[in-house]
């Protein structure tokens, strides 16, 4: 290290001195990331070398615990950096991201392929029965051993070198993929003017479009951006088919526009390298490698869930398609229905069937009150308290900071939330942690955050949400609770560090409480009159809830099936987009419905490998959450204290400390079948 290397014990990126144990964001400078990363990587490498070269025989303390507690400075700078890369990026951060991603990959490859270190872990693993360890420690030891093996610890030197090179390249490709999607999203705007251009659009949407135009220096005009919060309602309400087609094409072509931001080559190389990686590690396919430590375990089990659901959903969607075509024809529109039309006629059918217009709900769904509803549910179920702390700087001025307390008044967690869309933020909604909870060494209290992409309201007006957006807010907050309520001792199994097809249980389950009557009555109040949502409207909303479940399920399952098809091949497809088209044809994809995420912008699957061969997880978890909420309904009280306690202990607090199936059984007493999910989805 040069003389100018930053002092990690003092630097604000790695020594957090802000209020509530946060970093002092006001003291952070983008230019510091690169040198601090270098210093933190070097410090971690030195810690690892000391563990690996320890002359004493391996013990849990000197090896497993030392390994888990190593790299604190790297964890800290990484947490801030990846938060910025997703939620508030810029050219410098992006350039650094392309550099850091492969550097991190190289660093962790070197750790996992360190023969002396693996020998110590292997010694503990082989002796695990005789060491008198508690169950959580045994599980962490087994998971650690397996992680090393899956990262190449048992390969020969040539295999190790090749795997490290593959991982490094995959890291670069993942970073490039996400940046390309963001560039296509940020680079496309359709400006409209008052009058015919806005035909059919409700006020909440034109307000959001006016705000988006003003933010881009086009005050007085109306901007359609590629944010889902604008695109979906535009497609639902605009009577201008020509404009709908334009917007739909731009939205579904993200990442597929030729030139520098086209993801075609990125996807092709990613799939080829993933398949090669799986072969190198002795698996039949990348899906087999990824599913090895999930609840589903095999691609066949995933298809066993998805395929029957797909057939039911396709049949349902087919019936609705005929109705949509009828409505279009009645309105004098004889052109065949296209994918750019579905949401528009769907909205008309919803009104015909349920006398229910989504836009009627919005005045009752104020962001502020939905946040309160989220907190209210957490307080009723788990006794948590929330206090907003103003004036604490974070990564952007929009970010809000809440201190979360236990029922006895003690500190539990810090929760940060960043709700509005802006050009520096990638699309979607997510939860992550600046600091995970654990009880090892000095321990740590959780600092977690939620990122949303709601349209910013005009000045002086409240932000109003759609029911889907309100559900998304509950969903991400469910993930946040999984992080905040963790009681795991070991960091590597804390909070959301569970198998991918279990991780959506706490989030999807939490969504159910949004629409329970007590919560709606108290929090879904009209932004002008303060009146609660009328019972008749609540009933219509609930009745219409599964309206067009076929469409929603086809959208989702098509993406999940294509994801699985890509990764279950032993050899990667030579032309991924042709493969996508062939797969959809083989499945009998209705031409009038688009995948929820097409390949060139499928961030879950290609921006890093988080949900690769894993998009099905949402539905897998849904089987669990449908059944878990039924458990509350069966008691006659959706806030039943005894059941809430069981839920907390076995699901929200347990992290990955036990096998997920064992956790679920401890909560519910049995495993669910997919039927309850299909009934709840309206597919049965
Ligand atoms: Zn989720």
12 CA → ligand 1 middle, Å: 31
Cα(1) to centroid(ligand 1), Å: 41
Ligand 1 centroid vs 254 CA: distance in angstroms? 22
Q: Compute the distance between CA of residue 328 and CA of residue 347 in angstroms, rounded to an integer.
A: 12
State the distance from the centre of ligand 1 to the C-alpha of 642, rounded, in angstroms: 26
- Among candidates 521, 511, 515, which has minimal Cα distance to 542? 515
Enumerate the H helices of 414-456 as residue ranges: none
Distance 661 CA to ligand 1 centre (A): 19
Question: 430 in helix, strand or coil?
Answer: strand
pLDDT at residue number 610: 82
Protein residues placing their CB within 5 Å of the ion ligand 1 = 504, 507
Judged by DSSP in three states, 481 sits in helix
Distance between CA atoms of residues 305 and 445, nearest Å: 38
Q: Which residue has tokens 């309160």? A: 372
Q: What b/e string do you get for 673-684 counting C-beta neighbours within 10 Å, with b at 16 or more?
A: ebebbbebbbbe
d(CA 494, ligand 1 centre) in Å: 17
pLDDT of the residue at 640: 98
Question: Do 418 and 399 form a contact (C-beta atoms < 8 A)?
Answer: yes
| Distance (Å, whole) CA 635 – CA 664 | 18
The label of the residue with tokens 């360190």 reads 114
Determine the Cα–Cα distance for residues 483 and 553; give it in Å rounded to an integer.
29
Ligand 1 centroid to residue 474 C-alpha, Å = 10
Given the residues 47, 72, 185, 476, the one annotated as active site: 476
Concatenating the DSSP letter of every residue in 179-231 gives HHHHHHHHT--EEE-SSGGGTT--HHHHHHHHHHHHHTT-TTSEEE-S-HHHH
User: What is the reported pLDDT for 662?
Assistant: 95
Closest CA to 94 of 169, 179, 33, 35: 179
Angstrom distances, CA of residue 671 to CA of 295, 318, 403, 658, 664: 12, 32, 36, 16, 7
Task: Give the residue among 360, 359, 369, 357 at the shortest CA–CA distance from 525.
Answer: 369
Contacts 24+ apart (CB under 8 A), 157-162: 159/280, 160/109, 160/113, 162/280
d(CA 462, CA 484) in angstroms, rounded, equals 28
Cα-flanking dihedrals φ and ψ of residue 223, to 5°? -110, 125
Three-state secondary structure call for residue 411: strand
Q: What is the pTM of this model?
A: 0.90
| Residue among 68, 57, 56 at smallest CA distance from 141 | 68
Q: Which whole-number Å values give the CA distances from 456 to 97, 369, 462, 564, 655, in the listed order?
A: 27, 16, 9, 36, 34
What residue ranges in 354-495 does DSSP mark as E strands? 385-388, 400-405, 411-420, 430-435, 447-454
pLDDT at 576: 97
Residue 1 is predicted with a pLDDT of 44
Q: Sign of torsion, CA 580 586 587 588? A: positive
Cα 88 to chain centroid distance, Å, stands at: 17
- As a residue count, the chain comes to 684
Task: Indicate the pairing of strand 411-420 with strand 447-454.
Answer: parallel
Mark whether 129 is an active-site residue: no
- How far, in Å, is the centroid of ligand 1 from the Cα of 478? 8
- The residue with tokens 């409207």 is 537
Task: Provide the pairing of β-strand 411-420 with 400-405.
Answer: antiparallel
- Cα–ligand 1 centroid distance for 604 (angstroms): 11
Centre of ligand 1 from the C-alpha of residue 643, in Å: 23
- Least Cα distance to 293 among 660, 673, 605 occurs for 660
Which residues of the chain, if any, have pLDDT below 70? 1-3
Q: Within 422-497, where are the H helices?
A: 467-484
Distance 415 CA to ligand 1 centre (A): 17
Give 247: exposed, middle or buried? Use CB within 10 Å, 0-12, 13-18, 19+: buried
């Amino acid at each position: 290290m040069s003389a100018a290397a930053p002092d990690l014990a003092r630097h604000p990126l790695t020594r957090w001195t802000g209020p509530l144990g946060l970093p002092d964001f006001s003291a952070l400078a983008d230019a510091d990331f690169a040198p601090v990363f270098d210093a933190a990587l070097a410090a971690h490498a030195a810690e690892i070398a000391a563990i690996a070269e320890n002359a004493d025989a391996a013990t849990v303390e000197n090896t497993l615990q030392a390994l888990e507690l190593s790299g604190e400075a790297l964890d800290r700078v990484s947490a801030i950096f990846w938060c910025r890369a997703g939620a508030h990026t810029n050219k410098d951060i992006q350039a650094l991201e392309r550099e850091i991603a492969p550097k991190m990959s190289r660093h962790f490859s070197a750790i996992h392929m360190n023969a002396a270190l693996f020998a110590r872990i292997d010694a503990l693993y082989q002796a695990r029965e005789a060491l008198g360890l508690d169950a959580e420690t045994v599980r962490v030891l087994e998971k650690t051993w397996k992680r090393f093996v899956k990262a190449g610890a048992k390969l020969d030197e040539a295999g190790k070198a090749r795997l490290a090179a593959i991982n490094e390249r995959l890291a670069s490709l993942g970073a490039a993929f996400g940046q390309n999607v963001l560039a296509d999203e940020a680079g496309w705007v359709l400006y409209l003017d008052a009058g015919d251009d806005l035909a059919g659009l409700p006020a909440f949407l034109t307000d959001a479009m006016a705000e988006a135009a003003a933010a881009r220096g086009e005050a007085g005009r109306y901007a359609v951006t590629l944010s889902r919060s604008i695109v979906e309602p535009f497609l639902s309400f605009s009577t201008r088919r020509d404009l709908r087609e334009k917007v739909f094409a731009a939205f579904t072509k993200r990442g597929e526009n030729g030139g520098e931001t086209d993801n075609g080559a990125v996807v092709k190389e990613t799939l080829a390298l993933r398949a090669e990686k799986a072969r190198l590690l002795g698996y039949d396919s990348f899906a087999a490698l990824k599913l090895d430590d999930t609840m589903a375990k095999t691609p066949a089990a995933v298809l066993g869930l998805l395929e029957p659901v797909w057939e039911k959903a396709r049949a349902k969607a087919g019936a609705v398609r005929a109705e949509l075509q009828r409505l279009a024809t009645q309105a004098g529109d004889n052109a065949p229905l296209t994918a750019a039309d579905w949401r528009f006629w769907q909205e008309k059918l919803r009104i015909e069937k349920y006398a229910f217009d989504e836009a009627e709900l919005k005045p009752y769904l104020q962001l502020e009150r939905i946040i309160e509803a989220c907190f209210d549910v957490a307080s009723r179920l788990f006794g948590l308290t929330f206090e907003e702390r103003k004036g604490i700087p974070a990564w952007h001025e929009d970010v809000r900071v809440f201190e979360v307390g236990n029922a006895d008044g003690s500190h539990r967690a810090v929760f940060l939330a960043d709700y509005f869309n802006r050009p520096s933020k990638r699309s979607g909604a997510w939860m992550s942690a600046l600091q995970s909870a654990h009880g090892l060494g000095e321990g740590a209290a959780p600092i977690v955050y939620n990122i949303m992409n709601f349209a910013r309201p005009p000045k002086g007006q409240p932000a109003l949400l759609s029911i889907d957006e309100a559900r998304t807010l509950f969903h991400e907050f469910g993930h946040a609770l999984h992080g905040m309520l963790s009681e795991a001792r070991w960091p590597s199994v804390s909070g959301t560090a569970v198998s991918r097809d279990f991780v959506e249980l706490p989030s999807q389950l939490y969504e159910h409480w949004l629409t329970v009557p007590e919560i709606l009555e108290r929090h879904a109040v009209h932004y002008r009159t303060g009146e609660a949502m009328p019972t008749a409207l609540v009933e219509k909303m609930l009745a219409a809830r599964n309206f067009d479940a076929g469409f929603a399920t086809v959208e989702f399952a098509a993406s999940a099936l294509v994801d699985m098809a890509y990764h279950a091949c032993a050899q990667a497809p030579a032309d991924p987009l042709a493969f996508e088209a062939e797969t959809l044809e083989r499945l009998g994809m209705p031409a009038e419905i688009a995948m929820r995420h097409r390949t060139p912008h499928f961030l879950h699957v290609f921006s890093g490998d988080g949900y690769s061969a894993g998009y099905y997880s949402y539905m897998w978890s849904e089987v669990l959450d449908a059944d878990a909420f039924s458990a509350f309904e069966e008691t006659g009280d959706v806030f039943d204290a005894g059941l809430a306690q069981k839920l907390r202990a076995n699901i929200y607090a347990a992290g990955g400390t036990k096998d997920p199936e064992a956790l679920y059984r401890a909560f519910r007493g049995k495993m669910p079948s997919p039927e309850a999910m299909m009934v709840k989805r309206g597919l049965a």
